[in-house]
Amino acid sequence: MNEIVTILGIIAAYTLLVLFIGLYSYRYSKPTMEDYHMASREFSFLVLFCAIFGTNISAVALIGGPGKAYHVGWIVWAYFVTSWGWLSPLLLYTVGHKAWPISKKFGLMTISDLLYKRWNSRFLGYLASAFLIFYTLPYIMTGVIGGGRTFQALTHGFIPYWVGALIVTLVVCLYVAFGGMRGTAWTNTLQTFVFLIGGIIMFFLVAKALGGISNATQAIAEKYPQLLSRAKFPMKLFFSYGIIVALAVPMFPQVYIRLLTGRHPRELKKTVLIYPLAAMIIWFIVAYIGMWGRLAFPGLAGAASDKILPMLIAKYTPTWATGLLGAAIFAALMSSLDAQLLTTGTMLIKDFFLGARKKAVPEKTDISFSRFLVIVLAFIAFVAALIKPKAIITIIEWSFGGYACMIIPVLACLYWKRANKYGAICSILASQFVLIAIPLGILPRQISFGMLPGVPALIVGVLFLLIVTY
């Protein structure tokens, strides 16, 4: 019992620190929508990097990643680093440096804003925003799920899943509602350093407990040799994962909007240069720890493996270290969850409510409404998380495909002068139909040729953009 109290005390202290930073940022806020949702576009390199990278390192990385590696092995590292670690930063700059001056000049915030400004089509803006929100809501849910499972695992079930999920939801909801973009970015700066340093410490502590890096990996080779091969990740599946993940990241609404918050595109260039190094480190850690977890806790099935990282920490580290490393996990969870909540609220009010409103109202009213939307979205995510759905990676695989397809009209908007709104609309509708129809059995799975549904959906989206435009 004393151990649990110590662990909870350390996590509570860290949570209060995050909450303090998020709420303290409120003192520097201005009573404008531009400041609440974009922090007046004044972030320097360090804050911008942490805002973008921290937003990406979510429950997918520190909960879903080890859970996936538990079943398929080291290949998780290779797949994420070769696609997300290298290609995604290039695409972030490709999209961001072109979108930044346009967005700065016209006060644009969202992807929908960009498409509407280019083609003057309110329907296109609504369509893009609706799909992005549709795919972001389950992604928000994964952060709440991760928080609940982490609390449960670290306290050996003393804190039930629903209480852990509620604590994470309330804390994030509070500082996001008050701090806005500045609050999420400032807390992300702290959280990025916490989970990077904490992740490195976790790696060496778990390796030491299992006899060292070489011995742990040798034991895997003897007992579970399939985890050191690509047997469970055929080349077609590996390729499709890489393409989908790399293309999806710049279209995450919470990432795209942060590409526009730097003082100058130069800040973004510095960010994408350091991004691959941080990506390699964090995914090396989670892939190998997840794989080694098979030695300590064999026989976990399905979503149960999502708790492997906190389970290893609770088993192999001293009580004080368990609390500190547990805080590092929560840092990763909250750094993504807060961004997703704020950005979804931004899309709802900017893309729908403000566009449809007939009369102007004070900006303070809009900011209050934005805060209300954050609270509502957090409540929806918490209730949905109580359903206890499938493994986190399974949830986001589908969402990633939807995001990836959205990069087609965005790149056309930024780089192809001849592209028109009819091609963009048809591209979105056709690609999203294919993405949804294949899993539902409306279209045969054979058209995927052993790859994720997102790949044929991308091909269809490009074809419709070209054909309809011409």
pLDDT in tens, the chain (470 residues): 677 888 888 888 888 888 888 888 888 888 888 888 888 888 888 888 888 887 777 656 767 788 888 888 888 887 767 666 778 888 999 999 999 999 999 989 999 999 999 999 999 999 999 999 988 887 788 778 878 887 887 777 788 888 888 888 888 888 888 888 888 888 888 888 887 888 888 889 889 989 999 999 999 999 999 888 877 777 777 788 788 888 998 999 988 999 999 888 888 888 888 888 888 888 888 889 889 999 989 888 877 787 888 888 888 877 777 777 777 777 777 777 888 888 888 888 888 887 666 666 677 888 888 888 888 988 888 888 887 655 555 666 678 889 999 999 999 999 999 999 999 999 999 999 999 898 888 999 888 888 888 899 999 999 999 999 99
Task: Please give the single-letter amino acid code of residue 299.
Answer: G
Q: Distance between CA atoms of 88 and 276, rounded to whole angstroms?
A: 9
* CA 457/CA 462 separation, integer angstroms: 9
State pTM to two decimals: 0.86
What's the CA angle centered on 355, arms 27 and 120, to 5 degrees? 120
Q: Three-class SS of residue 107?
A: coil
Predicted pLDDT at 191? 80
Q: 125: which 2 tokens?
A: 């803006």
Confirm if 138 and 125 have CB atoms less than 8 A apart: no
Residues 392/367, Cβ–Cβ less than 8 Å: no
Taking the C-alpha atoms of residue 48 and residue 268, their distance in angstroms, rounded to an integer, is 7
Cα–Cα distance for residue pair 245/181, rounded to 1 Å: 25
**pLDDT, position 2:** 74
- What is the per-residue pLDDT for 121? 92
Report how far residue 391's alpha carbon sits from residue 368's, in angstroms, rounded to the nearest whole number: 35
